[in-house]
Every structure is written in C-alpha cells, then in structure tokens.
Structure 1
C-alpha cells in the first residue's frame, strides 16, 4: 500500500490511491487510510467491524513541487458496538490530520514557523500557502504560547507613550501611540509586554 507516491507525500497513516488533474490544472491527490488503528474507538480502544458510511474530506496541505495540491481523503465512519460507549460513532483520524482538522499539522506548523522564526508578515504567509489571516495568526500564537512564559516577570519600570508641550497650544500632547498604549519593560529585558486600545484602562489594569 505504501507505494513511491505515498512515500513522496509523506503523511503518516495515509496512502496515495491515485493522482489526477482537475479542470484548473491543480493536482488532486486522493488518499486512503493505511493504519488499521484508526478503526479503534478512541474511548473503548476496541477495533470496529461495523462501517457506518464513507466520506470525503479535503484538509489543506503544504504545496508540493512548488504548486498547491488538493488533498482528498477517502475515510470512513465506524460504529462502536459497546453498549456502555457514549460515543457510538467515530471517524478515522491520523496524527498528520487530527479529528475535525481542516488542515494538516505540518501546514499549520509551517505557517506558524514562517511568522515566529522566519519573521515573515502574517498576510504574506497566508497568501503564499492559501490560508486566511486568522488561521495563520492562530498558528503563530500557538507556537509562541508554547515557548513563552505564562506571564511576565516582575517589572520595575513600566513604560508608556511620551508627551511633550505643543508650542502652538502650550498643552502636553502625546507624541506616540495616540490610539493604542504600548507597555514595555523599560529597565528589564522583556521588551513589549502589552498593546491595548486606549490609555487609562491599560494603565489601571497593569498598575493594579
């Protein structure tokens, strides 16, 4: 089942059945489940022999050979016949495509890395891999959350926008951040701590 095309695609647990071109010239890669463990009920861990139905899903994946591809997974819904099982039915899942996922884990990882490590702009990454801005940003924040501490260390000096006297009006006016407040660790090494809309609310929350 693991032919050369399957090895080239490299999605563990999935095997390439065939590849075709659609009307737009996009390569459509049809894959089937190649891991018998996907027939085990996730709650009871018992192998099911009761097929409910076959379905098609199209999780987004990385471009291949420089071009985007359409991944079509021919998968199955199974019944769990254990009377005590509350799940009743379940669908096949593999690590590269978790349950209810609309894109592969490697595509999500690549999108997040492009922003977090390569320092590319979210909108640029989204356009290059065919994803929306919120999806790419969520992938980036997930990677950041995994390596950043849960909260900032104690801050000795909290920085905020600067003010100076307007020579025309004689009044103190904010010179930066008129619509947003950027709060920074002035004497420490943590850099930007927060950026929120407005001024008073940001000060009150952080000083409290």
Structure 2
C-alpha cells in the first residue's frame, strides 16, 4: 500500500492520508483469476488509529475490476488487502488496539468512547482475541448446567442464505461446581440439543470424568444428560430447590389466608405483612425482626401451617448447607424429614 499524499483534514484537528495500491491488477475473490480491466474507481474512508494526539483520517482510492472469467459468478470485484477486508469500515490495527485495551482491564464502553467506535465492534474483536488465547478447561467432577437470558433480541442477516434471523435470547452456561466455580463454556439456546452438542465437542475422555451433573428441574436437560453422560448422577442444584421450597411456602400462606379469612391477603394481615420475611433466610433476619414475625404468626394464624412450612424450608436450607461446609448430614436430614412428616398441612395442598 502506497501513501499518495498527506494533507491537513479540513474542519478536523488531524491529518488526512490518501493511499492506493501500487499494482495495476487484482485477483478475483471468487475464482482467483487476475484482472487488469478497471471498471470504475471509488474512495472509502476506513477508521484508523489516531496519530499521537491528533486524529488520522484515511482515504483509500480503490479500483473496481471486471472479472474476465466466463464461468465466474462474480462479474466485478473491488481490490482489498488483509488489513482492510472488503466492506470493512475500520482497519485491522484499530481492531487489534481496542481488543488489547479491553484485555488490559478497561471496560468495553470506555474503549468504545475513546476510539469513537461502536460497542459491538469492540466487544466482537475482544471476544475473538480471547477465543484465540483460551484453552480447553479440564473436566470437572461436578458439572453445573443452567440457562440465562442475555440482553434484547437482535436481527442479523445470514451471509449464507441471505435471510434475517433473530438472535437467540438465552444461553446455557456450564460451570465447574467441584472447584472454583469457574465458567467452562456457553452454548446458544436452551434446548437439549445445545447441551448434547457442547458435551460431545469436549470428547469422550472429558465426559468420562464428570461424575455429577447439577441442573434445574427441567425434563429436557435430564433426558439429554442421561444420553450424553449415562454414568453421571443427576442432582438438582440448591438454588432451584430453595426456590421450590419458597414457592410451596407461598402457596401454603395464600391457601391458609383464603380458608381462614375467606378472601385474599391484605396489608393489615400479619401473614401478608410478613410475606417477604418468610422467604428470607433465617441468618438474614435480625433477632427483633424474627421475633416480631414469629409472634405475629403465632397470635393471628391459629393453624400453625405457615410457620411449619417456614421451618421445613429452613431445615432444607440447613441440609443443603452441609454440602458446602462438608458437615455430617444425618442430623439435618432427620430434622428436615421430621418437619415435613409431622406438619399439619394436607398433602394435597402442600
């Protein structure tokens, strides 16, 4: 690439560099046949790194060549170089620079503002830089699988079929639960096929080392894990177990209120006023708050079902905490089962 001339950028505090290729020929990007027949000339304005404290504008005077190959589907093509691919609006060194800035610890938004480029561009090139440095993680003994929603939907045009398609709103996360809890990988979507494809890509040796798989209560995940990891034991993760316990507690509170008062709960009802405290962990309640909640329900809820459901939920949390603290589970398991078995709650209602 030759620099034709350098001039002051009129209206901007910087320089303007005019460049062009010295060769009077180019190879077709479709068939590779060299052509010297120029059809027209055009000028592009790719973004580039600043020159010191000043901006640096680039004007590339390009030529469009006619492809002389009869069997080639592309009749015309425009010259390009590796640093500025076809239809590129930024140079390669600018892309590498923003990726290095994010890798150094800066946020994507800050780098995007400094170089006045789009947030998606900075994130895309940083992700590509990170993918080149990442290594295949070691197989965990306990594998955690769950899905999360990411941002808002976007529409992207497929380069293969030329149709617009909406980006996937959910992604499946694979986490090492036996070690530091590090994120092992992600897969777009929340289907069983996405889980199987990700696991199969790891290889047979990697999958054989997984002994336990923690998932949410999803039938599709359970089915595909039994196929991809038939030797692994499937367990439900603690978060969703506690969420189910809180849901059951809320159901008991609402049912008791309807049966006892003949209506929905109101702000003047002690069980409704304490609804959020009931869902909070015991260790997160002060002694004053806990005493007030307990006494309110003892005095105004004669059946005792709400407090019984709350005690069962706390016993379940204590049982699950044994896994983190590596404590004996026999006492907690007995207490949890005892709270549930002796509860004055109809089995059909709980």
User: TM-score when scaled to structure 2?
Assistant: 0.43
1:134 CA drift (Å):
0.8
Query: How far off is 1:67 after superposition?
Result: 2.2
CA distance in 1, matches of 2:181, 2:71: 52
Q: Residue in 2 aligned with 1:186?
A: 177
Pair 185,58 (structure 1): closer, same or farther in 2 beyond 3 Å: same
Answer yes or no: is 1:113 the counterpart of 2:104: no
Matched, 1:61 2:33: no
Q: 2:19 maps to which residue?
A: 31
Query: Residues 112-151 of structure 1 correspond to what in structure 2 (within 5 A)?
Result: 112-116=99-103, 118-149=104-135
The SS at the match of 2:60 is: strand
Deviation at residue 51 of structure 1 after TM alignment: 1.1
1:27 Cα deviation from its structure 2 partner: 1.8
| Secondary structure class of the residue paired with 2:38 | strand
Does the CA contact (< 8 Å) of 1:43 and 1:85 recur in 2? Answer: yes
Structure with the higher fraction of residues in strand conformation: 1
The C-alpha deviation readout for 1:85-130, integer Å capped at 9, x for no partner, is 11111101011111111111111111112112x1211111111111
Residues of 1 paired with 2:121 and 2:132: CA distance?
Answer: 17
User: Which residue is equivalent to 1:100?
Assistant: 87
Corresponding residue pairs, total: 171
Q: Would the aligned equivalents of 1:152 and 1:190 in 2 still touch at CA under 8 Å?
A: no
Q: Hey, what's the Cα distance between the residues in 1 that align with 2:185 and 2:64?
A: 45
Q: Tell me how far apart the structure 2 counterparts of residues 190 and 79 of structure 1 sit (CA, whole Å).
A: 57
- Say if 1:15 and 1:34, in contact at 8 Å, map to a contact too: no
Shift of 1:152: 4.8
Quote the Cα distance in structure 2 between the aligned partners of 1:99 and 1:147: 26
Choose which of 74, 79, 89 in structure 1 pairs with 2:66. 79
TM superposition shift of 1:74:
0.7
Secondary structure in 2 matching 1:131: coil
Say whether residues 1:52 and 2:39 are aligned partners: yes
| Structure 1 residue 61 displacement after superposition | 0.8
SS in structure 1 opposite 2:34? coil
The higher radius of gyration belongs to 2
TM-superposition CA deviations, 1:14-49 (whole Å, max 9, x none) = 424332222133322111123456x22233433322
Which consecutive residues of structure 1, in runs of 5 or more, have no partner in the other structure? 1-12, 161-180, 197-201
Q: Structure 1 residues 141 and 105 mapped into 2: Cα distance closer, same or farther (>3 Å)?
A: same
> CA deviation digits over 1:53-99, x for unaligned, max 9?
11111111111123221111111111011211111111010111111
Higher RCO structure (Cα 8 Å, ≥6 apart): 1
Report the TM-score when normalising by structure 1. Answer: 0.69
